[in-house]
Structure 1
Amino acid sequence: MTIEDRKSHFLTLGKFLGQFELKDSVLDEKLPHNEKFFTEMDHKIDSAVHHNGWFNRENVVFSLQEWSKALTRENLDEWLSKYEFKEKEPKTVAVIMAGNIPLVGFHDFLSVLISGHRVQVKQSSNDKQLLPVIAAYLMALEPEFEKYISFTDEQLDDFDAVIATGSNNTARYFEYYFGNKPNIIRKNRNSVAVLTGEESKEQLEALAEDIFRYYGLGCRNVSKLYVPEGYDFDSFFKAMYGWNPIINQAKYANNYDYNKAVYLMSEFKLLENGFLILKEDGSFGSPIATLFYETYKDKDELKGKLEAHKDKLQCVVSHNFKEDEVRFGDTQHPRLWDYADNVDTMEFLLNL
């Protein structure tokens, strides 16, 4: 397969993923092999929800739709145009995936195959339903993919490089076991938002998406706010209100109740609205249903602080605060060239 062949197959995959809706998905009869795989994917969406209490159909479909929007000719061309693809002997790249949100490891899967290498996938037990269907669909489109895609539940062996995503704790094990191979090893990251008090209602409502999508489980979810001293949270809480049904999800509600009880027993000062707790805290990573916040006096001083901790941050959401900021509402719409941990995965793969 040439790079153009691979791009063409992922374009078709993008159209396939775009069929699935929260309700009343409609089969596109023009897509190849669709009748079989449409039904299978729709079934696996339900299976994913059944196997992981943090997954619901809305979030799974949201992930599929986002990948469908990403896999367009324009996006693929813009992403790949800066790289030089040469035909060479493919390497086997082991990809160890997290399972915190649906298809969280798909970008690595895509990158390995687009680069012309073989992928050996070790999935998280929390997210094992969807990617095998995607892989099977690609193999139906192009049987040669059968030589390039494999899954394993066993110990990884016979690979040339590794991409592993996990916590700070698991990263130590990854570094120990895979340190002798070319590798990308990702650790915990969090995202923050910087508010000035001048945000519009629309910007704050968009920020709610950054906070609550996937119940806040992703590294791109905003887990902390920076607000100016004396900030009035009234407008912020009003903008969050549209997400109040989230408290009806049992696991989220359990986290809310538990964290609120712990904080109150510890006599921490809290702000809350019945489904989100705000706690002043210096840490970046907050528990589920809790958002940390910290006040600032000087913007330049805050910029320096965030720059000093950039290895812990995935996104900084703001408006006209810093050059590489993410717009309000955009954290869960990453582009193909928005690499996790700011490590260029494609460059790594092409240099193997």
Structure 2
Amino acid sequence: MTLKNRIDSFSELGQVLRDSLDGKNIKYSSDLDALIRNQQFMNPWFTPENVKMAIKAIADELTADNLINWTSRYPALNSEGSKMTVGIVMAGNIPLAGFHDFLSVLISGHNLKAKTSSKDPELIVYISNLLFDINPEFKNRITLTDGLIIDFDMVIATGSNNTSRYFEYYFGKYPHIIRKNRNSIAIIEGRETESELIHLGHDVFSYFGLGCRSVSKIYLPDGYDLSRLITLWAGFNNVINHNKYANNYDFSKAVFLVNRDPFTDAGFLLFKESSGISSPVAVLYYEYYESIQSVYTEIEKIREKIQCIVGRKEVPFGRAQWPQLWDYADGKDTVDFLLKKN
């Protein structure tokens, strides 16, 4: 299968997903709609809104122009190097969290053996079946399992700081990428428009804050009034109607009250001043700064814990959950890693 074949296949996959989401594809729309609606019954965090958003974010990137732009950065993709079997351990914190690894392995011409997440067992299977319909050659290149993956040449595993230790033990002898917990932050300068701040709300609340690209900490200029954010983010207050989110909100609020920790209660989000960056669900950490330079000095100290930075000079407000194909998790170029074994 040539690189052009692979690009054409994924480009068509993007078109099928876009048309299906819009109800324009008679063959797939009803099945996809049912799949989206049913995910919440297996994983309550996977609401139809969040699942649809994840699929749309993927579909919008899978265009011929984007795929050509991305792959053109790697001339070696045009050569028919030796095929490797790449093992992937997929995360399940948000819908289709493992898709970019799935795409990177296959666009590189390798074979894929993936362990699906118990929290997200169906979506990547559905995507694979669409790909089989588009290009049956992929049937011999994709193996999905909910058990152990064996007989692979290299591995990409995504998990928590805790599971990463086990990954290092089991996969350390193979060429590997092992990902740990990361969080995202935002820098507010004080001159942002209402529209920009509302868009920042999407970066905070999408996927209930469970994604590594979800903003869990904001840096504010000295004297910044939190009430402005609370007012502008009122449109996101429906998150409190989600049972699991509300449970987390109630728990953290109770902990703060018992410990007499100061916090600001927006009624649907708890603001807590903290030097940390990994806030619990329903809590947003914030920290005041005197100068932008001091923020970047602090960021450099914790760079390995940060997935992305949102701000006027960084990832645009509202775009944290819409990465481009060349926005690699943890800043590690997955395709470059995969090509080193060719």
TM-score tier after normalising by the smaller chain length: over 0.9
Instruction: Give yes or no for contact 1:164–1:184 (8 Å, CA) kept in 2.
Output: yes
Does 1:316 pair with 2:309? Answer: yes
Residue 83 of structure 1 is matched in structure 2 by 74
Q: How does 1:62-73 map to 2 (within 5 A)?
A: 62-73=53-64
Q: Secondary structure at the match of 1:315?
A: strand
Q: Does residue 232 of the first structure (1) align with residue 221 of the second (2)?
A: no
**Pairing 1:125–2:118 present:** yes
Question: 2-side partners of 1:220 and 1:182: how far apart?
Answer: 26
Whole-angstrom distance in 2 between the partners of 1:302 and 1:155: 43
For 1:246-285, list aligned pairs within 5 A: 246-285=239-278
Q: Which amino acid aligns with 1:202?
A: S
Q: Secondary structure at the match of 1:14?
A: helix
Q: Distance in 2 between matches of 1:48 and 1:98?
A: 16
Runs of 4+ aligned structure 1 residues displaced above 3 Å come to 37-40
1:1-352 alignment to 2 at 5 Å? 1-21=1-21, 25-29=22-26, 35=27, 37-84=28-75, 85=77, 86-320=79-313, 325-352=314-341
User: 1:44: Cα distance to partner?
Assistant: 2.1
Distance 2:218 2:175 in 1: 36
Distance change >3 Å, CA 326–CA 190, structure 1 → 2: same
Per-residue CA shift, 1:271-312, capped at 9, x if unaligned? 111000000111110000000111111221221110121100
CA RMSD of aligned residues (A): 1.2
* Residue in structure 2 matched with residue 32 of structure 1 by the alignment: none
- Cα distance per residue 1:241-260 (max 9 Å; x no partner): 11011111111111111111
Q: Deviations over 1:160-184 (max 9, x none)?
A: 0000000011001101110100100
Which amino acid is the alignment partner of residue 7 of structure 1? I
Q: Does the 8 Å CA contact 2:185/2:217 hold for their aligned counterparts?
A: yes
5+ long unaligned stretches in structure 2:
none
Shift of 1:195: 1.1
**Residue 80 of structure 2: SS of its match in structure 1?**
coil
Once the two structures are TM-superposed, the CA of residue 108 in structure 1 deviates from its matched residue by 0.3
Query: Unaligned 5+ residue runs, structure 1?
Result: 30-34
Report the residue type matching 1:347 in the other structure: D
> Alignment identity in percent?
46
Q: Distance in 2 between matches of 1:9 and 1:27?
A: 19
Deviation at 1:20, TM superposition (A): 4.2
For residues 61-108 of structure 1, what are the alpha-carbon distances to aligned partners after superposition, in whole Å with 9 as ceiling and x for unaligned?
A: 111111111001111111111102110221100010100111010000
Q: Give the alignment's TM-score, normalised by structure 2.
A: 0.96
Q: Secondary structure at the match of 2:19?
A: coil
